[in-house]
Structure 1
Amino acid sequence: MKFYPLQFEPILKDRIWGGTKLQSVLNKEITSETTGESWELSTVPNDVSVVTNGDFKGKNLNELIHLFPAEILGESVLERFGAQFPLLFKFIDAKEDLSIQLHPNDELAQKRHNSFGKTEMWYVMQADKGSRLVVGFKKDSNKEEYLEKLASKEIISLLDETEVKTGDVFFLETGTIHAIGGGVVIAEIQQTSDVTYRIYDWDRVDANGNGRELHTELALDAINFKTTKAKVNYENKLNQSNKTVHCNYFKTNVIPLDGKMNWESHKGSFTVLMCTEGNFTLEIENDMYAYKMGDTVLLPAALENASISGKANILEVWV
């Protein structure tokens, strides 16, 4: 069986805070004017990605892993996670502020939801002037102060707001309170989990006058009340893979490409490339594969090396 770079049908999600940049910036065929998320690679139940190219076209990611576990995932991923894809990849368009929220750790998520926790990272692809992210507390807080400000709808006064620009990276450990601000397009890499504890939603209501569910009690013992340094500084050397976020769940490097470079596989793991700017081409065993901004490609672990050429910015992710 010949393995090759795999692309998947985007799974589009309508959100109360979504907009149209997934189309205007990332060329997705969106379904509404409030499309907030494009799930690029997912094995979340009922949202499993389906291949759009080559011999495996029409098969979903779980089917491929079942047929070729070591060749798709890699031996070390199999040892750690079994025959399941451990990550979820998204593009997010926040036309308006997302809710203020957090995610539980593995232990809580397993106990309550039979799920992984949700450690994640953000790469800012586009940001309107003055747009910002909310990440963590301004100073160490506690349960009492937090509940008081939550009750008086002043929770934002405790939280750290950071103005952002293209290329900014944030690493969000579980328990970190956060919100993506309006005007930002983000590439998000996270554990395979859809467990979110929403604590404040700006008093928004839907067309029927109903607010979204809040998870005040569930969130209490999941919150990290300490300050956190979520913004990541990284080198940006041209035509190299620059270390960005390396954690227990995933490793992400940034490749600023202008010309050509060799790519080597990460032994024992698949690799995912997300094109956040420009265009690039992969050459593998004399076969050429072209990608543009907004494309996500899964390189099965069975692929050993390639050359990459073009003018682009690429996120390189493996486990």
Structure 2
Amino acid sequence: MSNLYPIKFNPIFHEKIWGGNRMKTILNKDFGDMPNCGESWELSGVDGNISVVSNGFLAGNDLNELIEIYMGDLVGDKVYEKFGNEFPLLIKFIDAQDDLSIQVHPDDKLSKERHNAFGKTEMWYVAGTEKGALINSGFNQVVDREKYLEYFNSGKLTDLLHYDEAQVGDVFFIPAGRVHAIGKGCLVAEIQQTSDVTYRIFDYNRKDDNGNERELHTDLALDAIDFSYSSQYKTDYKTEKNKAVEIVSCPYFTTNIIEFDKEQDKDYNQLDSFVIYMTMEGDFEIVTEEGSETVSMGETVLLPASLESVQLKPKSESVKILEVYIK
């Protein structure tokens, strides 16, 4: 058995043209004097953005170093066999003070061919909203390539898109190929495959400080889009106090929501995967045989696979966390 423990990392902040300051005001993160903090990368193995440990005796080491040293003890044997030294998930918070561009992500096959990278299937949990905030996921009618191009070329693409008014607690699963966009006023937790491949379809003709419009990936996106239609894109679920409720399960990750006001005994003995906790509400304590770690609202923690049983103790009236792992 390794002497691993619940690991926290320094967030990696990204300035974005559409970003705001709710990482600070709601999630209690200190991003310094960055004017528009759009993203906080909580846990990342993406080249150039590797997360660095902030707590315990491993502080100062980065995620890649940890995987090289601890391998299956950190990520789980089956995860290590499949992904080697690459951490398979990217965990973020996104603060949209303006509309994000309309985008699509390629799947594994297309990403491998074009970018030698993984595809990008992701999910969103809405952690905060302003009145009237919208989320786009998918189309609002049956669409084919010709119809899409007709609307796109006439500047009316948004007329084809399905929008939901965002409420705190809403969950959207975005498989690779689904057209999507986070609207102005949304603060979301994002769980995704480790990939930074995004095809920008439309950016509302926005210009940067130098008067340039951001690059669009019109042709690349066309081959990546899944034109299928659904009558509902938002995930339907109900939380159950003091119980893990599965909200998303796909080949890339499983996410549960746990709302608790009593101690939770978690047994991960059969899982063979790391576990990630993202704290949506309240503070709690993770108790292990070695000691304990307090986790606050807005914090993300990596539970190594070698920690097969832990206890979660609420330190607030109610705590709400996302629990993420690979089945």
TM-score (norm 1): 0.98
Q: Secondary structure at the match of 1:78?
A: helix
How do 1:148-163 and structure 2 match up within 5 A? Answer: 148-163=150-165
| Unmatched segments (≥5 aa) in structure 1 | none
Specify the alignment match of 2:325 in structure 1: 318
| Unmatched segments (≥5 aa) in structure 2 | none
Offset of residue 217 of structure 1: 0.5
Equivalent of 1:243 in 227, 243, 246: 246
- Cα RMSD of the aligned pairs, angstroms, is 1.0
How do 1:285-296 and structure 2 match up within 5 A? Answer: 285=289, 287-296=291-300
Specify the alignment match of 1:261 in structure 2: 264
Q: Is residue 12–residue 35 contact of structure 1 (8 Å, CA) maintained in 2?
A: yes
Specify the alignment match of 1:50 in structure 2: 52
Equivalent of 1:214 in 174, 199, 216: 216
Q: Secondary structure at the match of 1:157?
A: helix
Alpha-carbon distance between aligned partners in 2 of 1:146 and 1:309, rounded to the nearest angstrom: 51
- Residue identity opposite 1:236 in structure 2: T
Specify the alignment match of 2:124 in structure 1: 122
Q: Secondary structure at the match of 1:238?
A: coil
- Provide the identity percentage: 48
- Residue identity opposite 1:199 in structure 2: I
Offset of residue 33 of structure 1: 2.6
Deviations 1:179-213, CA, capped at 9 Å, x for gaps: 00010100000000000000000110011110100
Alpha-carbon distance between aligned partners in 2 of 1:98 and 1:91, rounded to the nearest angstrom: 14
Alpha-carbon distance between aligned partners in 1 of 2:234 and 2:78, rounded to the nearest angstrom: 29
Q: Secondary structure at the match of 1:148?
A: helix
- Structure 1 outlier segments of 4+, above 6 Å: none
Specify the alignment match of 1:81 in structure 2: 83
Specify the alignment match of 1:271 in structure 2: 275
How do 1:96-245 and structure 2 match up within 5 A? Answer: 96-228=98-230, 229-245=232-248
Specify the alignment match of 1:6 in structure 2: 7
Q: Is residue 235–residue 243 contact of structure 1 (8 Å, CA) maintained in 2?
A: no
Offset of residue 226 of structure 1: 1.4
Q: Secondary structure at the match of 1:219?
A: helix
1:282 equivalenced with 2:283 (yes/no):
no
Question: Mean Cα displacement is larger for which, 73-82 or 173-182?
Answer: 73-82
Specify the alignment match of 1:308 in structure 2: 312
Offset of residue 286 of structure 1: 5.7
Deviations 1:157-185, CA, capped at 9 Å, x for gaps: 00001001111101001110000001010
- Residue identity opposite 2:71 in structure 1: P
Alpha-carbon distance between aligned partners in 2 of 1:246 and 1:108, rounded to the nearest angstrom: 22
How do 1:27-66 and structure 2 match up within 5 A? Answer: 27-31=28-32, 32-66=34-68
- Aligned residues, how many? 319
Q: Secondary structure at the match of 1:141?
A: coil
Deviations 1:45-79, CA, capped at 9 Å, x for gaps: 11000001111110000000001101101011122
Alpha-carbon distance between aligned partners in 2 of 1:148 and 1:201, rounded to the nearest angstrom: 18
TM-score (norm 2): 0.95
Alpha-carbon distance between aligned partners in 2 of 1:110 and 1:197, rounded to the nearest angstrom: 15
